Amino acid sequence: RMARGRRGDGGGEAAKEKDHFPTLQMPMYERPANDRRRIVVDAASGRYNVLTNCLNCGKVVVEEEGWGPCLFCGNPLEVGDRFGVKHGDDRGFLDAGTQNAQDQTYNESFERAKATKDRLLSYDRDAKKRTKVFDDATDWYSEAVNPWLNEKQREDAMRNASEEERRKREEKRRIHATIDIFGRTVISADAEVAEQENLKNKAKFQTWTENVSDQNRLLSMMQEESRGLGGKASHMSGESQQLYDKLRASLHASGRDSGFQPKAEAAEEKKNTRWDASNDNKRVENDFSGVSVSDFAKASNKAPTALLPEEESPYGDADDGGMCLSMHQPQASLLVHGFKRAEGRNWKTEHRGRLWIHAASKSPEEGDIELYEQTYRSIYEAQGVPMPPLPSETTGYPTSVLLGCVDVEECWANEEYKKVLSSSPSMPQEDNDSAHIFWCLRPRRLAVPLKMPGDNKIWRLPKMSLSAAQRGLQPVRWPAPTQDGQAMMSSP
């Protein structure tokens, strides 16, 4: 009875263990009985080359078994190739060449990303060879007066500018045409030839500027290296270095003449006293005979000149569209300083309001400067209008810069302008033979002109440059009449 019970208990435990045996929770496919791949393989021995493993049950599949459904669970294997991951095999269980919509989208995105990567790497590899950004301000004249270049580089730029001007004059005398024999017509090719020559000049200018930049960079590196080897080097050169050396030697000589002075007494004297430059006039004037300290005293004692009140412009920054006109010097500076008010063009404009004035790149001739300044000096002296200093006495005539702005009030035809002059005898009589006259008032100039290229006719300033220029405007104020017979400028 006890044995029977023990056997009964054992049978119960066996049944209990059988009930708790883990079962496979995975999809199982029916396996064909005649599958030739049913062989016993020890994949862990290393004698077989592994293909993949089943992602459903984990069985390792080797080359001897071949591609196909898993021999354990019957699920299709994941076949990977250069197009991505696909389902199926070469036995036709599932079509290996078929892609679902998700896989196709993934593969297309992958190919686009790969193409972008290759393009960026290729651009980064040979960007210097392929990148040719031609500046519209291909201007040899501005480089010829560039203070950051040395004398040889400026002479080279001036020589290239002269050569370019000579080539343009020769091209104007030539006629370029294409003869159409079948159509019996002659087609002008001047525009195409001019465009090709312009591109050649821009390419030449770009190559020259790159070479100059490389030379300056190499020179800077050599200076840094010499500074590291031989101590701190001076950044001054030419007249600045000579002036500095003279001042330094003069200061040291003055210190030696004063003799030895204890530190405590020197500190107390420095604290309680100030250096009086008037007691040291002789030494300074001997070192710099062309400069007199008394000149500064005369200038400081001179009474300030009474100026006319600032005329408020009805056109504010909110109405400013950044419209700009490029002009040659010296006319550009004379317009911004208020001497010139009638600007002539062969075309008319509907623009009214603020007009920015840009100085072109060509440097003015000394004869032209004297002629224009003498002309406007005669005009205002004849009207009895007191004049401020001319630009040649103050700011000069810079090129390739934004000078300031004026307000365009009218655009007259030449006949209308002559009628206005005849009807207003008190108005400065500016002669102008252009077809259309821009009447410009309320000039404002920039305290620091902005370096930038120009363009033809009326063009628009970049937003960043416009914002900076608006903050730097200063009104141009002329002297007020202080004597009998003097008058103010009048407008129609």
Q: Over the stretch 461-473, which tens digit does the pLDDT of each residue have?
A: 988 888 888 888 8
Q: Which pLDDT score is estimated for 355?
A: 93
User: In this structure, are 339 and 467 located in the same domain?
Assistant: yes
Q: Residue 115 and residue 366: Cα distance in Å, rounded?
A: 59
Which residue among 188, 211, 234 closes a domain? 211
Greatest Cα pair distance in the chain: 151
Q: Minimum mean pLDDT among 9-18, 399-408, 439-448: which range? A: 9-18
Q: Which pLDDT score is estimated for 163?
A: 87
Give tens-digit pLDDT for 207-233: 888 888 888 777 777 766 655 554 444
Give tens-digit pLDDT for 336-371: 998 998 999 888 899 999 999 999 888 889 888 999
Mean pLDDT of the chain: 74
Strand 177-180 to 342-345 pairing:
unpaired
Are 452 and 142 a contacting pair, CB within 8 Å? no
pLDDT at 37 over 70: no
DSSP string, 305-317: PPBPPPPPPS--G
Banded pLDDT at 236 (limits 50, 70, 90) = low
Rounded (10°) angle between helices 190-230 and 151-172: 180
User: In this structure, are 190 and 327 located in the same domain?
Assistant: no
User: In this structure, are 196 and 329 located in the same domain?
Assistant: no
The number of folded domains in the chain is 2
pLDDT at 260 over 50: no
pLDDT at 486 over 90: no
pTM: 0.42
Q: Minimum mean pLDDT among 1-10, 93-102, 334-343, 422-431: which range? A: 1-10
Is residue 449 in a domain? yes
When mean pLDDT is compared over 306-310, 355-359, 386-390, 477-481, the highest value belongs to 355-359
* Closest by CA position to 488, among listed 309, 363, 312: 309
Which residue segment(s) compose the domain that 196 sits in?
Answer: 140-211
Dig out the tokens for 184 from the structure. Answer: 């019996």
User: In this structure, are 194 and 328 located in the same domain?
Assistant: no
Q: Which pLDDT score is estimated for 27?
A: 57
Are 320 and 351 a contacting pair, CB within 8 Å? no
Q: Which pLDDT score is estimated for 151?
A: 82
Is residue 188 in a domain? yes
Are 473 and 370 a contacting pair, CB within 8 Å? no
Burial (CB < 10 A; 0-12, 13-18, 19+), residue 142, is: buried
Which residue among 150, 181, 211 closes a domain? 211
Q: Residue 397 and residue 400: Cα distance in Å, rounded?
A: 10
Is residue 184 in a domain? yes
Is residue 218 in a domain? no
pLDDT at 268 over 90: no
Is residue 429 in a domain? yes
Is residue 457 in a domain? yes
* Closest by CA position to 362, among listed 278, 453, 281, 432: 453
Q: Which pLDDT score is estimated for 312?
A: 82
Q: Which pLDDT score is estimated for 31?
A: 60
Q: Minimum mean pLDDT among 171-180, 271-280, 354-363, 419-428: which range? A: 271-280
Q: What angle do CA 53, 58, 62 make, to 5 degrees?
A: 35
CB atoms within 10 A of CB 428: 19
Give tens-digit pLDDT for 330-340: 999 999 998 99
* Closest by CA position to 287, among listed 257, 325, 249: 249
Give tens-digit pLDDT for 293-305: 444 444 444 445 6
Is residue 172 in a domain? yes
pLDDT at 36 over 80: no
pLDDT at 380 over 90: no
Which residue among 177, 211, 245 closes a domain? 211
Q: Is the peptide bond before 262 cis (omega within 30 degrees of 0)?
A: no
Is residue 263 in a domain? no
User: In this structure, are 470 and 325 located in the same domain?
Assistant: yes
* Closest by CA position to 492, among listed 423, 445, 418, 442: 423
